[in-house]
Structure 1
Amino acid sequence: MTTTKPHRLSQQRSSNVTEILTQLVAFPVLGGEGNHAIANWIKAYLDEYGVAYQTVPDETGTKEAIHCRIGPAVDGGIILSGHMDVVPVVGQPWDTDPFELTLKGDKLYGRGSCDMKGFLACCLASVPLLLRSRLKKPVYFAFSFDEEIGCMAGDLTAEAIRDFYDEKPGGAIIGEPTMLQPMVGQKGIMVYTTTVHGSQGHSSRVKQEVDAIHEAARLIVWLEDKMDALIAAGRTDDRFHPNHTSIHVGTIKGGSAFNIIANECSFDWDFRNIPMDDAQAIIDDFQAYCAERIELRRKTFPGFNITHSAMHPPVPPLDTAEDEPIVDLIKKISGRTDVSTVAYAAEAGQFSNAGFPAVICGPGDIAQAHRANEFCAVEQLEGCMEMIERLATFSSL
């Protein structure tokens, strides 16, 4: 590993980041909720500097993504991407108001300070620097919504950038918290609800009816066996921990009494696939097994069925080759050559699929995300500002 020794930012620039982060944290916009309040603040900020931006609304008109370009309309620019929404705080034992940024020692506490409004604040605080720089290649901002409920706007935002600008950006940096270590891979994720529709009757008639709970149990065991079969077949990638595609059932609900055969049972399950495993192939195999069970059990109860609903579209994995120019760039501007991967899902795979080679690199520790007393160290924000400053330098060469 090589590192670049950080220099202290000027007090004014450090203060600007904190002031902007204070404003962003104060917007309690959760994933799934309308986000015009925080988006309007960001747009007003960009207006102050004369930065033209575009908005990308969702189909309900209650949410919008924002993207903009600073610099010339030429190929090879870099996208800085993050999301505006956060996760709930209900039931978490916070020591401070989660929506009021609080400085304690060298840490800034608040919901989203780490995941990932800290990165957004660094981007916005860098606007004056980027405008002053004689950029020969542009820097883009891409701020999305509903990332926390399944990266719902990642495709929308990436495709909007691809289709709006005549030039083609050379890559994207997604600023999820990585302690400013470059990440070139992420797992994908898919979340499903599977519902088994059986027949109802007295529990003594278990062979004459079709118990939905019993059938759901078979499906759950099949999913676990599928995960084990992938591992046994050598479908592993040691860059990740765990090093395989994980398949997990999180909730199950069904039945009304111990002596009534259940006519319905549903369970929520997910898989987080390593890049070598195709998400659709897993789904197809599972549905093929379900079709076998349907054919068999309809001999007993013609109304038997198994249905599925996806909680959100699949989030693709990321697997950026280390010889991609974006990887060389992130090493230079972050000052770190020890690239790695993350197990969580992010929008990086979506940007990659849209044609923008992507890496993940941002301030803060993912261990602080989604928990009470979430924080981002001041030093991490300063390091992120320095990273963007170096990006401006390289974009001016």
Structure 2
Amino acid sequence: MTVENILAKLVSFPVLGGESNLTIIHWIKDYIESFDVKVNLLPNEDGTKASLHCRIGPEIDGGVILSGHTDVVPVEGQEWSTDPFLLTDKNDGKLYGRGSCDMKGFIACCLAALPHMIKADLKKPIYFAFSYDEEIGCLAGPALARAINDFYKEKPTYAIIGEPSSMEPIVGQKGIYILETYVNGSAGHSSRIKQEVSAIHESMRLVLWLENRMNQLIANKRFDNRFHPPHSTIHVGLMRGGIAPNVIADKSYFYWDLRVIPMDEVDTIISDFESYCREREKELQEVFPDFSIKTIENHPPVPFLDTDAKADVVELVRKISGNSELNTVAYASEAGQFANEGFQSVICGPGSIEQAHRANEYIELEQLEKGMEMINKLITELSVSNHT
């Protein structure tokens, strides 16, 4: 099958983050096993989802993991000019469809290159590692990276995470943590605002504290100029509370996210926020004893990626991608999770992140070709007996 044929099949599976991915993962499994490669599934607890991993080549240390995710973001509410789950060629050098860019294009390149891998005289192995639920918080990444460490006797050295980067090697990403904060106040007539505790008013104080904390990091010159913006960010993206203008809100909540540069600690920021919350509780419980503030995880934190520009994996990806310029990103990926398992990790894949998550998502045919070229060059590199 050509890379375009494979991509069309992958796009046809409307597997959203959080939903079962068994249809697409079993199709990929069957395809790989048709080449007599043993595939290992890593199911979730209730068996409704699964990641997969496999090895092509010898049981020797020093191999390379090619990692991607099988889920996509929703299309509801977006104005598509084509069926988002039918890969469409408009003869403009682009292939349209949900996930074509993010990141089924990379998986298609991996699968299309599989026959070449099988025929090559690989001296170091190549591993496929395809996950689920990346789009709702990189939830399966840690278990998949850990499983590769535990399952194989040999130790892979490198991981290439094929997120759309226009084939630029990405050596850094911010760590990301999304949280929910719930405020419980006391209801009453709006004229009694000083006798009650408004959950909305207190939520606004908390939001202001978060903004001031971000500004403090900036004032303290906590900068990493590899990133844009070069500082950690704290953002509140959703807030709800209240029932009417003349009723003091007894309930309010907001969702917020932290995106931290490698030098900043998520735990420190959260601890400082929690200390402020306890101060507010102590003060306002004198007015309303049941006043409370509770913050919970929306999903587990996604670790940052901070690969040294002089690392061997960077030299390798520069060579096979044809790009020497290094970059960083602010979006989440599984790269930091693979790095935390001891694999030198770089993000590099076909397509532009500018096309991801929007209506009429597409990948350029030229980018698919470059993705295939990168993997074929990797095969050549790993077929050289003196490769280290």
Q: Bin the TM-score by the shorter chain.
A: over 0.9
Q: 1:156 & 1:103 partners in 2: Cα distance?
A: 36
Q: Which residue of 2 aligns with 1:337?
A: 324
**CA-CA distance at 1:60 after TM superposition:** 2.2
Q: 1:265 & 1:93 partners in 2: Cα distance?
A: 32
Secondary structure class of the residue paired with 1:97: coil
For 1:288, give the aligned amino acid: S
Q: Does 1:20 align with 2:11?
A: no
Match of 1:298 among 285, 309, 312: 285
Q: Does 1:88 align with 2:99?
A: no
Q: 2:108 & 2:268 partners in 1: Cα distance?
A: 40
**CA-CA distance at 1:375 after TM superposition:** 0.6
Q: Does 1:200 align with 2:187?
A: yes
Match of 1:311 among 298, 311, 324: 298
Q: 1:329 & 1:372 partners in 2: Cα distance?
A: 34
Q: 2:227 & 2:88 partners in 1: Cα distance?
A: 34
Q: 1:97 & 1:211 partners in 2: Cα distance?
A: 47
Q: Which residue of 2 aligns with 1:41?
A: 27
Q: Which residue of 1 aligns with 2:40?
A: 54
Q: Does 1:73 align with 2:92?
A: no
Q: Which residue of 2 aligns with 1:325?
A: 312
Q: Which residue of 1 aligns with 2:378?
A: 391
Secondary structure class of the residue paired with 1:372: coil
Q: CA-to-partner distance for each residue in 1:120-141, whole Å, 9 max, x for gaps?
A: 0000011110011111110000
Q: CA-to-partner distance for each residue in 1:147-178, whole Å, 9 max, x for gaps?
A: 01111111111111111111111110000001
Aligned-pair RMSD on alpha carbons? 0.9
Secondary structure class of the residue paired with 1:313: strand
For 1:332, give the aligned amino acid: K
The correspondence of residues 248-287 of structure 1 with structure 2, limited to 5 A, is 248-287=235-274
Q: Does 1:101 align with 2:87?
A: yes
**CA-CA distance at 1:66 after TM superposition:** 0.5
Q: Percent identity?
A: 59
Secondary structure class of the residue paired with 1:181: coil
Q: CA-to-partner distance for each residue in 1:212-237, whole Å, 9 max, x for gaps?
A: 11111100000000000001111111
Secondary structure class of the residue paired with 1:126: helix
Secondary structure class of the residue paired with 1:86: coil
**CA-CA distance at 1:261 after TM superposition:** 1.4
Match of 2:207 among 215, 220, 234: 220
Q: 1:101 & 1:257 partners in 2: Cα distance?
A: 47
Q: 1:300 & 1:247 partners in 2: Cα distance?
A: 30
In structure 2, the gaps of 5 or more residues are none
Q: Does 1:166 align with 2:153?
A: yes
Normalised by the length of structure 2, the TM-score is 0.97
Q: Which residue of 2 aligns with 1:7?
A: none
Normalised by the length of structure 1, the TM-score is 0.95
Q: 1:204 & 1:382 partners in 2: Cα distance?
A: 67
Q: State the 4+ residue runs in structure 1 displaced beyond 4 angstroms.
A: none
Secondary structure class of the residue paired with 1:38: helix
Secondary structure class of the residue paired with 2:301: coil
The correspondence of residues 119-198 of structure 1 with structure 2, limited to 5 A, is 119-198=106-185
For 1:124, give the aligned amino acid: L
Task: Tell me whether 287-296 or 254-263 shows the greater mean CA deviation.
Answer: 254-263
Q: CA-to-partner distance for each residue in 1:47-99, whole Å, 9 max, x for gaps?
A: 11011011111112100000000011111100000000001111111111110
**CA-CA distance at 1:354 after TM superposition:** 1.2
Q: Does 1:353 align with 2:335?
A: no
**CA-CA distance at 1:179 after TM superposition:** 0.6
Q: CA-to-partner distance for each residue in 1:325-358, whole Å, 9 max, x for gaps?
A: 1111001111111011111111101100111111
Secondary structure class of the residue paired with 1:149: coil
For 2:26, give the aligned amino acid: N
